[in-house]
Structures are given as C-alpha cells and as structure tokens.
Structure 1
Amino acid sequence: MDSLHHDLTVVEQIEVSPPHATIGCKSLPLTFSDIAWFAFPDPVHTLFFYDHPITQTIFIETIVPTLKQSLSITLQHFFPFVGKLAIFPTSTRIPEIRYVEGDSVAVTFAESDLDFNYITGNHPRECHKFYHLIPLLGSTTKVSDYITIPVFAVQVTLFPNHGIFIGMTNHHNLCDASTRFCFLKAWTSIAQSGGSDEPFLANGTLPIYDRLLKYPKIDESFVKNANVETFDEEYKLPRLSGPTNEVRATFILTRTKINGLKKLVSTQLPTLAYVSSFTVACAYIWSCATKVEKDELAAFIFVIDGRSRLDPPIPAAYLGNCVMPCFTLARTTILKSKEGFVTAAKLIGQNLHKMLSDKDGIVKDIGSFEE
C-alpha cells in the first residue's frame, strides 16, 4: 500500500470500464445549460459517509470487489460518466462528451487513520481535513486538434472499525445533481443486487440522451462566450488545497424549528404565496450569515431544476444539466435587523414564486431567444 497523504494510505488505484463491447463509440453534444458551467470551472465534489464498522480484511475482500463490479455494470448504462469531455479550439463546434471502447473511470480505494467521529460530527472541522477524501479528475490530454478531460472519478476510503467514505468528483459540464442522483440510485441498486442490473432495468429509469434542449443559436452563443479557443493541453481544473483557515460545520433545523419559522413568516406575511421549508431554511441561513458582514449588498443564489418547469417540460431522466439560477439581493443592514429573517423569507419566496409560476419565469419559452 502507498502513502498518498499523512492521514491516508492507498489500498488500490484502478481504472474501471464498462463490460467489453456493451456501449460502442458514442458522443453527447453539450447544450447551453451544460456549456454555461465553463464560467464556473470548479469541479463538483460530493462526499457520503456510512457508519459501517468493518475491518480492513472485510473491506478488501468484500466491499472493494462489490463496488468495482457494480460500478462497471452501472457505467454501461451511463456512458457519459466514463467518457471524456472533448473541447475544440473553435466557437463554431460544440463541445461534447465522447466515449470510445477502453475509456475508464479512475477509482481509488484507501484507508484513513483520521478520527471518524471528528470528521462526521456536527462541530466545526477544518476544511482541509476532507480534501484527501475527494478524488481528483485526470489531466487534460491533447488529441489531434482538440483536448479531452476526464469527467468523473471515485474514491472509497475505509476508516477501520468505524465506517466508509465514498467521494466523487465530476466535471460540472457532465451533469447536475438530478442526473448524479439517478446514477447513484442505479449504482446502489446494482450493488445491492450482487452486480445484476435486472432489478434496476425493471424498476429504474434509464437515462435519456436525446438533446431535448434544442436551441442551437443559444448553444453557439454560449460556446463563443466560453472562449474555448483558449483551451489547450495546459488547461487545468481548480483543485482543493490546504491547509486553510476555514472550517466546516453542520447545523440541524428540526421539523419543530422549521414549522415555527414557517408560522412566523405566514403570520407576518399572510399574502406571501411561497412559504416552504426550503424558503424559510434559506432565509434563516442568509439572515444569520450576514450578521458578521459589513454594510454591503448581499446575494443569495441557488439553482432550480428546470426539467418539469420548461415549456414544454422534459423528462426527469434527461441526462445533463438543466438548472436555472434564482438569486436575491438585499443590503446586509436590512438582513441583520430585527425583521431580517422575515425580510429574507419575503424576498426569497417572491423570487421562487416568480421563477416557478410566472410566465416571465423559468416556464417562459426559451425559444423566444432564438428568434
């Protein structure tokens, strides 16, 4: 075993491919909703922890083979995850995700001697303690007249006799959270079935690859604004690094607390159309976070899944990015005031209602921009 970090020992580093000849060469052109993420190049990192007290022997002999086999089977149904992002040095050609026989996903199995309870606790924890649990995407490669970038990587880390962390990194041009969740459900189903994809095929939903967001003029405009002609073999994605002076903490809003917040907002703003758990949770976070800020204009931004809210709607199984931003602005002095929380709830609720209901919101026909 190799030492990758002073708190981490690598058990195995492998490349996992779909079963031979189950996919064939395929490509998936990006749409404007995918291309937009070139402006935000940081990869997406997700980390799941499981309280599963097993030994290293059980991990190596049971968990590792199961995850390898089930991931391989899953990839044959989600070929973009094992493909590579191809970027061409011209704004006249849309970037795409390509899969060719032999492509693979980098998977690392490791062991950590960090305190599992410290990492998984709700107290403040140093951010950089998590970084070595997150896999890195591979390097950019020059191929003929274009470059390719791996879009997905996995790391599984054992904390002996305590639990397991599964870390994943994906290029944001690959997909949004909805697609990633569909992939995880498929992988989980196949792993639980001992490597068989029959239950998934019977009960799951296969991804839809058809480019249902068909707005070529918008695609071309986004590619032009992305300045893809500047991308070359030196292009590198940002990577997490530390140590830093930042900490990560978990704050729990109980159902009783959320219901109390909703009642407060509904009482003071009886005409507010959108008072959901999400609205009050975001308002509470925003009003609390601004208490340490100077007097300035503050923004609260999140994204909304647009699949069911487009006109016409597209299926939930659509693979790719299909999210729209929703943002709210307010001065920190207002948010820090006695009525700061209620004001934040009003602003967020109004914007959500507009995005989800008004004809000028997310449901507006995007095709009007093509005219």
Structure 2
Amino acid sequence: MDTTPNLTLIEDCRISPPPGTVGHRSLPLTFFDTTWLLFPPVHHLFFYDFPHSKSHFVETVVPNLKHSLSLTLRHFFPFVGKLVVYPNLNNSGVIKKPEIRHVEGDYVALTFAECDLDFNDLSGYHSRKCETFYPLVPSLGKAVKKSNYVTIPLFSLKVTLFPNNGISIGMTNHHSLCDASTRYSFLKAWTSIARFGGDQSFLVNEYPPIYDRLINYPKLDEYKLSQTRLETFYKPPSLVGPTNKVRATFVLTRTNINQLKERVISELPILEYVSSFTVICGYIWSCIAKSLVKLGERKGEDELEQFIFTIDCRSRMDPPIPANYFGNCGAPCVVTIENVVLSSENGFVVASKLIGEGINKMVNNKDGIMKDVERWHDPFKIRARKIGVAGTPKLKFYNTDFGWGKPKKYETISIDYNESISINASKGSTQDVEIGLCLPSTQMEALANIFNDGLKG
C-alpha cells in the first residue's frame, strides 16, 4: 500500500459524471479567467469531527462521497474537464483562446487516505507548521503537451480519515476554472446531494450554473493573452516543505469590528465609505507592517506596501451578470501606501481610508466598473511588498455540511505560495471574521501581540 509521511492510501478513485449525461462540451475562457492562467493552484482544506472507526468510514462515507460527487459533476462539468491552452501562434499569428474541454470519460482524481497526525492540533487556531498540512491537499496532476496545445486537470480531491477523530477534505483547483463564488456554489450542490442522496433538492432549491459566456470583450481577451507568457504554463507550482513558516488564524468579533469602525469614523468623520471589510483589511494590514518594523525588517521611509483584493463584478456589470454565472468575474483593487505611514500609530486608520476609497472609486465609477480595464494591472508594476487577499466574508464556507455536521475548521492553504492572507466568515458567527496567515514563526508571534494589543484600546 502506498504511503507518504503520516499518510496511508486507502483508495485512489476516478470519478466521472454518470455516463451520457455530459458528453463532449467546451467552455471558452474569458479575460477574467485568463488573468489567472499562470497563478498557483488554489488549495482549500475542511476539517470535520468524525468520531468513528475506519470501517465505518469505508462503508458509509466513501461510497456516499463517490456517488454524490459523480452526480454533482453532471451539473458542474468544467470541474471534471481539462484546461486546454494553445501557447503557439496559429497561421494568422494569433494565439487561440484557451478553453475548458470535457470529453466522455474525463474524471476527477479523488483519493481516500488515513492519517496519524493530531487532528485537534491541525484543526486549531494556534500556530502550526505550514508543511504539516501539505500531505492533506491533492495536486492537480501534470500538464500534458500535445502537438500544438497543453492540457492540465482543473480539479482534484483528497479525503483523509483521522480514525475516531475526524475527516479532512482537501480541494485543489486551477484558478482559471472559477472564483470563490462558483466554487462555493459547487460545494453547496455537492453537500446537498451528499445529504439527500440525490440531486432533487439541489435542483429545487439552488440555481444551476450558467455557462453562457455573458462576458464578451473580444479585444480584452486578445489583449490579455498577448500579455501572458504561456510558455511558462508547463510547470505549475506546487507546495513543498519544510519551510520556516507557521499557520495561524485570528478572529475579529462583531464587537471588535464595530469598535474599529468607530475609531475610523471618529478620526475621519467626513469619510464617505467605511465598511466592515475596509476596517478588517486595514487593521490586519497595519498589524503586518508593524510586525515587520518590530523585527527590524522594514526601515526605509520610502518603502512601499500594496494591498490587493478582488471585487466581484457580477452585479456591477452592465447589464448585471447572474450570481450563478460560472467562472471568474473579479476585478483587482490595489492600494499603495508608504511603510512608514502604514506602520505608524495611525496606520490602521489611513489604511482603512485608502481601501475604502479604492473600493468606492471602482464600484461607483459613473462609466461602470469596466472603465480603464486595460489599466487594472498597472499598479502591480510598482515595486512594493504585496499582500493579497483570498476569500470573502460574504460566502459562508462553514455551512458546507456533508451530513456529519458543519466544519470544525476551514483553511485556505494556497496563501502559503505568496504574501497573502485569507478572510472568511467565522465558524462561531457569520458576524465574526477569521483571518488566516502564513508567516515566519518570529513574525507570527510579534503580530499576535500587536493584533491583540490593538484591540484593547
């Protein structure tokens, strides 16, 4: 039986939709999707309490997950398809648009394994070594080079049993497949089908995905592809250890968030836009900057910091795009500030102001959110320390119940690839927010003290 450190294989599966339910289908990528072609895969990990034996897991959970996943893929066929990219110019000198292609017999790789790691430690909020989580998330599989195109799987799953303690479900998807909104819709469908044994409840209570390419900007498609170095597509990155980093989760309660908002409003009473999201981001961003200064890693007054997050464009397009549109539909919002300002006593307030102004400028643009779309990525060219945001408090990932109850813990593992944080609605209350961080252990300790001290004032 194959093994990896702390992990023993139970079964490797290939899960396809029921025969004859999908057939040959393709879905062209839009420029919203091609933006993510060269980005690292997205890894998510759900921990569920499951105080049962291995035999109970194999007899009940394994067949139910396999059956329900197959039915779900019938409605979300791109998850089982492959990404097809054409790196070479055709005879007319134009790069052909990438697409998601499904043919009969395509499958999702689903692995079941058993683990002897400490379930309660992994599903905690305290600092834990980042590489400990890596065996629990699946890889996408290798890119395959054909004569004039490259294919790569878009989605994979790994379900790991911690006997008599719990279950983890690791998900990996290529970011060009979809954004968090579509991924959440997929999870709602899968968990509903797993609980009820069929897709009737899903079809009655949810809206199936819309595959029509309602976002139609041919010139933007061409422009984005011309700016993308597709020759680097062959080697997608993967998580490797060991590292010197640890993972921890910080919680801002609704009381904390309201206090932060009051602090901003009291200092900037004429500020037009102050939301929970702006103060959450402003606060954690300033805490990160202060932790670097405390450790002596930021000294120059001219050093710049950038905060990058994505704004969902579905409801802001003209005409609006339905919420169940399948794919990516997000615009980057980038805020830049000098480190000396961000790490100052008043840095949180200034950061919240700039983030709010950045959002307000984009969503209330009189010419629409697509105005100056060609310049969306110009700020990325500025030399600065960049911190990205994964997730949104608007999506309730803690509601994903396969029939064993809601998750004990939800982690965004892919923030380990770069300087990113995750922000999600909390397990305890959707009014609270969880912030996931991956940092060197000394910085995490410094940040924890700064984070907690800042909430006492």
The TM-score range, normalised by the shorter chain, is over 0.9
**Residues 353/231 of structure 1: CA separation in 2 closer, same or farther (3 Å cut):** closer
1:254 aligns with 2:257: no
| Larger displacement relative to structure 2 (74-83 or 140-149) | 140-149
2:60 maps to which residue? 62
Post-superposition Cα deviations, 1:301-336, rounded to whole Å, max 9, x if no partner, equal: 111111011122111111111011111111111111
Displacement of 1:118 = 1.1
Q: What is the letter of the counterpart of residue 200 of structure 2?
A: E
Counterpart CA distance in 2 for 1:149 and 1:280 is: 39
Counterpart CA distance in 2 for 1:262 and 1:12 is: 50
2:381 maps to which residue? none
Displacement of 1:366 = 6.2
2:123 maps to which residue? 120
- The answer for unaligned runs of 5 or more in structure 1 is none
Displacement of 1:92 = 2.9
Match of 1:208 among 207, 210, 214: 210
Normalised TM-score (structure 1): 0.94
1:80 maps to which residue? 78
2:200 maps to which residue? 198
SS of aligned partner of 2:227: helix
| Larger displacement relative to structure 2 (71-80 or 263-272) | 263-272
Counterpart CA distance in 1 for 2:365 and 2:232 is: 39
**Structure-to-structure mapping, 1:236-315, within 5 angstroms:** 236-291=235-290, 292-293=292-293, 294=298, 295=300, 296-315=303-322
1:316 maps to which residue? 323
Match of 1:46 among 44, 47, 50: 44
Displacement of 1:38 = 2.2
The runs of at least 4 aligned residues of structure 1 exceeding 3 Å deviation read 363-367
Matched-pair contact (CA < 8 Å) for 2:33–2:177 = yes
How many positions carry a matched residue from both structures? 363
Displacement of 1:358 = 2.3
Counterpart CA distance in 2 for 1:243 and 1:350 is: 40
Counterpart CA distance in 1 for 2:321 and 2:66 is: 33
Matched-pair contact (CA < 8 Å) for 1:154–1:167 = yes
Matched-pair contact (CA < 8 Å) for 2:317–2:368 = no
Q: What is the letter of the counterpart of residue 15 of structure 1?
A: R
1:2 aligns with 2:2: yes
1:226 maps to which residue? 228
Match of 1:336 among 343, 364, 373: 343
Matched-pair contact (CA < 8 Å) for 1:138–1:150 = yes
2:190 maps to which residue? 187
1:362 maps to which residue? 369
SS of aligned partner of 1:301: strand
Post-superposition Cα deviations, 1:110-141, rounded to whole Å, max 9, x if no partner, equal: 11111111111111110000111110011112
SS of aligned partner of 2:114: strand
1:18 aligns with 2:20: no
Q: What is the letter of the counterpart of residue 107 of structure 2?
A: S
Matched-pair contact (CA < 8 Å) for 2:155–2:173 = yes
Displacement of 1:268 = 1.2
Matched-pair contact (CA < 8 Å) for 2:38–2:232 = no
SS of aligned partner of 2:238: coil
**Residues 231/252 of structure 1: CA separation in 2 closer, same or farther (3 Å cut):** closer
Displacement of 1:361 = 6.0
Displacement of 1:365 = 8.7
Match of 1:163 among 163, 166, 170: 166
Matched-pair contact (CA < 8 Å) for 2:316–2:368 = no
Matched-pair contact (CA < 8 Å) for 1:47–1:168 = yes
Displacement of 1:245 = 0.3
Matched-pair contact (CA < 8 Å) for 1:357–1:363 = no
2:98 maps to which residue? 95
Counterpart CA distance in 2 for 1:347 and 1:227 is: 32
Matched-pair contact (CA < 8 Å) for 1:30–1:95 = yes
Post-superposition Cα deviations, 1:204-246, rounded to whole Å, max 9, x if no partner, equal: 1111111111111111111122233x368xx121000001001
- The answer for unaligned runs of 5 or more in structure 2 is 377-457
Matched-pair contact (CA < 8 Å) for 1:310–1:364 = no
Displacement of 1:199 = 0.7
Post-superposition Cα deviations, 1:168-210, rounded to whole Å, max 9, x if no partner, equal: 000111111111001001101111111x111111111111111
Q: What is the letter of the counterpart of residue 161 of structure 1?
A: N
- Aligned sequence identity (%): 58
1:346 maps to which residue? 353
Q: What is the letter of the counterpart of residue 273 of structure 1?
A: E
Counterpart CA distance in 1 for 2:148 and 2:95 is: 14
Compute the RMSD of aligned alpha carbons: 1.8
Q: What is the letter of the counterpart of residue 85 of structure 1?
A: L
Counterpart CA distance in 2 for 1:39 and 1:115 is: 34
**Residues 231/275 of structure 1: CA separation in 2 closer, same or farther (3 Å cut):** closer
Normalised TM-score (structure 2): 0.77
Matched-pair contact (CA < 8 Å) for 1:16–1:71 = yes
Post-superposition Cα deviations, 1:335-365, rounded to whole Å, max 9, x if no partner, equal: 1111111111111111111122122562549
Matched-pair contact (CA < 8 Å) for 1:87–1:231 = no
Counterpart CA distance in 2 for 1:213 and 1:304 is: 16
2:34 maps to which residue? 35
Counterpart CA distance in 2 for 1:118 and 1:152 is: 27
